[in-house]
């Protein structure tokens, strides 16, 4: 018995000493003892714990190696929603934010701001009961997150027991330091595994492992930046909250600054834009917060974010790389667009290999030659663009890029239409244009043919089963069954989906035909106004111009389009095939004006994206009305597949679900 008591005391003693050493090492960054001494004590403790597992404490350092493998992460409802922050991008916008704050506070009250580094990781909520760590969760959609307690327990700077027995929820940013990220990717490369695009993805990926032992090896860290909920104690300001959580044993970031004027805020923000490269972890901006909680309360929240805080985002990072080549693509309207093929280079957290060059004029304007060193940046932090050429690096071997005189797809002469910068292929039979036109015809805002994506269109075209949109309605079951990856079920589904679109309201067909300048909104206006294709076909330019939303250019384009004999022929064919030619929709003002290609769609993301982190992609989709789910099923409308996509891609192909690659996704986002 005495021995048992002694062992218990020894386990308690070792646990407490080791936790204190770990606190000094990981939280305060002031090691008290050598690694060897720490390891020695840890071995002692582990030995005793193995002999007496029942005496192991819930804050034992042995827990940091990671517990049992989980089957799944449970959902966690946040007690207080985890909101996001509004953004500001330059000095003027910082000043505008300050003005709004001052207005909100009213005369005679001035804010004091706390400016903090915006750590680029993932937000987590940590819940403690009587000082014990009981639950840690991701932000999720802000209301519901995932329970990642087992993984979070492996982060040594997250205390398992606090220095006071309080009930508290704190929020912070879990992240992977730059050095650990580099090491991890070196290791991945050695094992021929795909690397993580940036430390944020690596941190998120590590915390979303079902095996906590993996998370334990990933060297994650955390900074706590706020209190979510606190029972039995009042704090009156953000800085007081920070010092309180520090006192409890949490790690906070020490770089924050009090700013009494907006000038100081601007200076802090701009200062860090330069200094951030020297930090051992990534930051993507500065968070500016009103310090006094009373003032925070007065300012309140919008639906998504607090009015008392905002995030200053650093200007897009510009990076130098080499232009390897220029690739050309022919679009639906025949416009030939050049794309820069670049020496892969990391920009703002992802590896960039391609960038849009828009048109030939841009190439001439910046005097771009193949082999040149160029600066690139991500516009809006998403789409890579070539910004400038650095002629001082030229060695003489660079070559001037010549736009071809002939279309790459059909070899007909390219033309430059007066007043336009773009070079075009005007051959209506050009295969590249036909394919792009078909892809457009079946897309969501047009005829919206389920399960008929880019891949299948190309497949049908290459097998000469379709040449124009009317052919889609003439597809035969037995022809389709002969194609690769086309099982009975997918063929039947596809035919059913095509058949169903015969009843579409006129505007879908109108948009799908791809008349120049006629976007989905204009198509709806035209359909609502003329009600039938017939009436629209016989409308004059004046009739069209009399409609509010229709300008001269579009009126011209519509008239010219319907004057073409091939168009009349196509429309007659469509009528014969039973395609509806009249407007069935609601009045225009009753409809959703902000419809995007993503609205209402259930989308699955898979594989590795180069330009964008998974979370970002999800946020972009959600902001456009789509929803993102984890697994592919018959309810999935679209799969966005990055590189090395595996089983989800296969399943989506089997189910005939529309599939986009990353380039297409970025293109659609840009629209
Ligand atoms: S305060 C109401 N402080 O930025 C939101 N957030 O869009 C209060 N972040 O989801 C957040 N460093 O993940 C705050 N010092 C900091 C931060 C920080 C990083 C992240 C956090 C949040 C996102 C805001």
pLDDT digits (tens, 9 = 90+) for 198-213: 888 899 999 989 999 9
Ligand 1 midpoint to CA 243 (Å):
18
Nearest CA residue ID for atom 1, ligand 1: 225
Residue with tokens 């800085």: 239
638-671 tens-digit pLDDT: 999 887 778 888 888 778 788 888 878 887 877 6
Nearest CA residue ID for atom 21, ligand 1: 123
In degrees, to the nearest 5, what angle opens at C-alpha 226 toward C-alphas 223 and 228?
125
Give the 3-state secondary structure of residue 134.
strand
Ligand 1 midpoint to CA 156 (Å):
21
Residue with tokens 């089983």: 647
Nearest CA residue ID for atom 6, ligand 1: 118
Residue with tokens 């006629």: 518
What mean pLDDT, rounded, does the chain reach?
91
Other CB atoms within 10 Å distance of the CB of residue 470: 17
Rg of the Cα trace of the chain? 30
Alpha helices in 505-608 (DSSP H): 506-512, 520-530, 533-537, 541-545, 552-563, 565-576
Q: Which of 411, 441, 407 is nearest to 334 (CA)?
A: 407
Distance of CA 368 to the CA centre of its chain: 30
**What is the structure's pLDDT at 416?**
85
State which of 80, 140, 225 you would mutate to test the pocket of ligand 1, scoring each by most atoms of that ligand within 8 A of its C-beta.
Answer: 225
Distance of CA 107 to the CA centre of its chain: 41
Contacts of 257 (CB under 8 A, 6+ apart): 114, 115, 264, 268
Q: Is residue 75 within 8 Å of residue 139, measured between CB atoms?
A: no
| Closest ligand 1 atom number to CA of residue 256 | 15
Ligand 1 midpoint to CA 80 (Å):
15
| Closest ligand 1 atom number to CA of residue 116 | 15
| Closest ligand 1 atom number to CA of residue 123 | 13
What average pLDDT does this structure show over 492-496? 94
Ligand 1 midpoint to CA 114 (Å):
13
Nearest CA residue ID for atom 12, ligand 1: 118
- Catalytic center residues: 118
The pairing of beta strand 87-88 with beta strand 309-313? parallel
Q: Is the pLDDT of residue 542 over 50?
A: yes
**Cα–Cα distance measured from residue 345 to residue 324, given in angstroms and rounded to the nearest whole number:** 12
121 class by beta-carbon count within 10 Å (0-12 exposed, 13-18 middle, 19+ buried): buried
CA distances from 510 to 246, 468, 532, 536, 552 (A): 62, 15, 10, 10, 18
What average pLDDT does this structure show over 291-301? 96
In degrees, to the nearest 5, what angle opens at C-alpha 71 toward C-alphas 70 and 75?
90
DSSP percent split of the chain into helix, strand, coil, nearest 5:
40, 20, 40
What average pLDDT does this structure show over 147-170? 97
Give the 3-state secondary structure of residue 182.
helix
**What is the structure's pLDDT at 649?**
85
State which of 78, 82, 113, 119 you would mutate to test the pocket of ligand 1, scoring each by most atoms of that ligand within 8 A of its C-beta.
Answer: 119
Give the 3-state secondary structure of residue 669.
helix
| DSSP code, position 579 | -
Ligand 1 midpoint to CA 86 (Å):
10
Q: Is residue 308 within 8 Å of residue 289, measured between CB atoms?
A: yes
Q: Is the pLDDT of residue 590 over 60?
A: no
Q: Is residue 207 within 8 Å of residue 220, measured between CB atoms?
A: yes
CA distances from 336 to 41, 359, 384, 504 (A): 68, 8, 19, 32
- pLDDT confidence of 2, banded at 50, 70, 90? low
Nearest CA residue ID for atom 2, ligand 1: 83
Assign residue 192 a region: left if phi > 0, alpha if psi is -120 to 50, beta otherwise? left
Q: Is the pLDDT of residue 593 over 60?
A: no
Which residues on neighbouring strands pair with residue 127, listed in sequence order? 135, 169
Nearest CA residue ID for atom 15, ligand 1: 118
Nearest CA residue ID for atom 16, ligand 1: 118
Nearest CA residue ID for atom 13, ligand 1: 123
| Closest ligand 1 atom number to CA of residue 85 | 7
Other CB atoms within 10 Å distance of the CB of residue 234: 7
- pLDDT confidence of 555, banded at 50, 70, 90? very high
Give the 3-state secondary structure of residue 428.
coil
- pLDDT confidence of 132, banded at 50, 70, 90? very high
Ligand 1: residues whose CB is within 6 Å? 83-85, 116, 118-119, 123, 139, 173, 225-226, 287, 305-306, 311
Alpha helices in 222-348 (DSSP H): 238-248, 262-275, 293-299
Q: Is residue 256 within 8 Å of residue 117, measured between CB atoms?
A: yes
State which of 145, 173, 286, 381 you would mutate to test the pocket of ligand 1, scoring each by most atoms of that ligand within 8 A of its C-beta.
Answer: 173
| DSSP code, position 655 | T
What average pLDDT does this structure show over 443-467? 91
Q: Is the pLDDT of residue 172 over 80?
A: yes
State which of 78, 84, 246 you would mutate to test the pocket of ligand 1, scoring each by most atoms of that ligand within 8 A of its C-beta.
Answer: 84
State which of 80, 87, 88, 118 you would mutate to test the pocket of ligand 1, scoring each by most atoms of that ligand within 8 A of its C-beta.
Answer: 118
**Cα–Cα distance measured from residue 628 to residue 618, given in angstroms and rounded to the nearest whole number:** 6
463-474 tens-digit pLDDT: 999 999 999 999
Other CB atoms within 10 Å distance of the CB of residue 422: 18
- What angle separates helix 199-207 from helix 614-623, to the nearest 10 degrees? 90
Domains observed in the chain = 2-65 (1.10.287.610), 86-313 (3.30.470.30), 318-416 (2.40.50.140), 431-503 (1.10.150.20), 506-592 (1.10.150.20), 602-670 (3.40.50.10190)
Task: Extract the runs of DSSP E, i.e. beta strands, from 371-495.
Answer: 373-379, 383-389, 399-400, 414-416, 423-425
Which residues on neighbouring strands pair with residue 415, listed in sequence order? 424
**What is the structure's pLDDT at 381?**
58
| Closest ligand 1 atom number to CA of residue 117 | 15
CA atoms within 13 A on the CB side of 215: 29
Ligand 1 midpoint to CA 27 (Å):
20
The proportion of the chain whose per-residue pLDDT surpasses 70, expressed as a percent, equals 97
Q: What's the predicted TM-score (pTM) here?
A: 0.62
Residue with tokens 């030659």: 369
What average pLDDT does this structure show over 342-359? 84
Q: Is the pLDDT of residue 445 over 90?
A: no
Contacts of 515 (CB under 8 A, 6+ apart): 557, 558, 561
Ligand 1 midpoint to CA 123 (Å):
7
Ligand 1 midpoint to CA 595 (Å):
30
Ligand 1 midpoint to CA 641 (Å):
29
């Amino acid at each position: 018995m005495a021995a048992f008591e002694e062992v218990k005391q020894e386990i308690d003693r070792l646990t407490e000493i080791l936790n204190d050493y770990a606190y000094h090492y990981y939280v305060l960054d002031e090691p008290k003892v050598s690694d060897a001494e720490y390891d020695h004590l840890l071995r002692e403790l582990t030995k005793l714990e193995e002999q007496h597992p029942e005496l192991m404490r819930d804050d034992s350092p042995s827990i940091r190696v990671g517990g049992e493998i989980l089957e799944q992460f449970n959902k966690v409802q946040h007690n207080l929603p985890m909101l996001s922050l509004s953004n500001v991008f330059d000095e003027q916008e910082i000043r505008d934010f300050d003005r709004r704050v001052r207005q909100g506070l009213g005369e005679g009250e001035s804010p004091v701001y706390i400016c903090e580094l915006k750590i680029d990781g993932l937000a987590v909520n940590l819940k403690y009961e009587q000082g014990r760590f009981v639950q840690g969760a991701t932000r999720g959609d802000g209301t519901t997150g995932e329970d990642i307690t087992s993984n979070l327990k492996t982060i040594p700077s997250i205390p398992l027991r606090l220095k006071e027995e309080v009930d508290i929820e704190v929020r912070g940013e879990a992240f992977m330091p730059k050095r650990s990220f580099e090491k991890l990717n070196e290791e991945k490369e050695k094992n021929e595994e795909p690397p993580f695009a940036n430390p944020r993805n690596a941190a998120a990926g590590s915390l979303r492992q079902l095996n906590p032992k993996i998370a334990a090896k990933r060297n994650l860290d955390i900074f706590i930046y706020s209190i979510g909920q606190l029972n039995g104690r009042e704090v009156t300001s953000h800085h007081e909250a920070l010092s309180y959580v520090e006192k409890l044993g949490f790690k906070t970031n020490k770089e924050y600054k009090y700013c009494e004027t907006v000038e100081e805020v601007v200076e802090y923000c701009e200062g860090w834009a330069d200094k951030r490269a020297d930090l051992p972890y990534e930051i993507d901006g500065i968070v500016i917060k009103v310090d006094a909680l009373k003032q925070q309360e007065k300012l309140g929240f919008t639906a998504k974010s607090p009015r008392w805080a905002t995030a200053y985002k650093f200007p897009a990072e510009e990076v130098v790389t080499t232009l390897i080549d220029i690739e050309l693509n022919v679009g639906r309207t025949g416009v030939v667009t050049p794309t820069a093929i670049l020496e892969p280079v990391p920009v703002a957290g992802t590896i960039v290999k391609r960038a849009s060059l828009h048109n030939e004029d841009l190439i001439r304007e910046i005097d771009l030659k193949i082999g040149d060193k160029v600066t690139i940046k991500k516009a809006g932090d998403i789409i890579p663009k070539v910004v400038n050429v650095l002629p001082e690096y030229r060695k003489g071997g660079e070559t001037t890029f010549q736009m071809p005189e002939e279309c790459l797809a059909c070899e007909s002469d390219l033309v430059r239409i007066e007043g336009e910068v773009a070079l075009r292929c005007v051959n209506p039979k050009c295969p590249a244009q036909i394919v792009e036109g078909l892809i457009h015809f079946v897309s969501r805002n047009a005829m919206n043919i389920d399960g008929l994506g880019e891949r299948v269109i190309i497949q049908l075209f290459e097998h000469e089963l379709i040449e124009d949109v009317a052919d889609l309605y003439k597809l035969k079951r037995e022809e389709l069954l002969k194609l690769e990856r086309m099982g009975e079920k997918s063929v039947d589904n596809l035919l059913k989906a095509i058949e169903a679109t015969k009843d579409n309201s006129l505007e879908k067909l109108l948009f799908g035909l791809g008349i120049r300048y006629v976007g989905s909104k204009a198509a709806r206006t035209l359909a609502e106004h003329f009600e039938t294709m017939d009436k629209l076909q016989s409308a004059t330019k004046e009739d069209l111009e009399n409609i509010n939303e229709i300008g001269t250019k579009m009126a011209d384009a519509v008239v010219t389009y319907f004057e073409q004999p091939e168009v009349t022929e196509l429309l007659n064919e469509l009528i014969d095939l039973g395609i509806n030619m009249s407007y069935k929709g609601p009045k225009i003002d009753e409809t959703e004006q902000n419809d995007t290609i993503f609205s209402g769609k259930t989308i699955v993301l898979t594989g590795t994206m180069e330009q964008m982190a998974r979370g970002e992609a999800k946020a972009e989709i959600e902001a456009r009305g789509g929803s993102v789910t984890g697994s592919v099923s018959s309810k999935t409308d679209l799969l966005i597949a990055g590189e090395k996509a595996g089983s989800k891609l296969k399943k989506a192909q089997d189910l005939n679900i529309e599939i986009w690659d990353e380039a297409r996704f970025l293109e659609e986002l840009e629209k």
